[in-house]
Amino acid sequence: MSDKLKLFRQMELLYDTEFDVIQQFKTKRDGLFHQDGLFFPNYTEAEKHELTDKAIAAVDVMHNLSDRALKIPSPYSGKPTEPPKLRF
């Protein structure tokens, strides 16, 4: 378990069910790595969909986590922080 994920769980920003989603994706992703680098086996369509679904679910969890983190009051102002404004 990464220190960041452990911290988010301690802060109650990452729920156990969400942590499980990330871990399932990490387990599947880690299975793609071998000594010579990244290895993409010949997955069946079902396996490709499973990996993609796990990746999407993990990204959704991290998006929810960032939303929750931005609602934490700032230690400087006592107000929730605002997301940065993007310039295009």
For residues 61 and 20, is the Cβ–Cβ distance under 8 A? no
Q: Compute the mean pLDDT over every residue in the chain, rounded to the nearest whole number.
A: 78
Rounded CA-CA distance 77/41 in Å is: 51
Furthest-apart CA atoms within the chain: distance in Å = 53
For residues 58 and 21, is the Cβ–Cβ distance under 8 A? yes
pLDDT mean over 51-64: 89
pLDDT over 50 (residue 36): yes
pLDDT mean over 44-61: 87
For residues 9 and 65, is the Cβ–Cβ distance under 8 A? no
The residue among 28 and 33 whose pLDDT is bigger is 28
For residues 5 and 22, is the Cβ–Cβ distance under 8 A? yes
Length of the chain: 88
The residue among 9 and 83 whose pLDDT is bigger is 9
pLDDT mean over 59-88: 73
Residues 6+ apart with CB under 8 A from 16: 9
Provide the residue ranges of all domains of the chain, joining segments of one domain with +.
Answer: 3-70
pLDDT over 50 (residue 34): yes
pLDDT over 60 (residue 58): yes
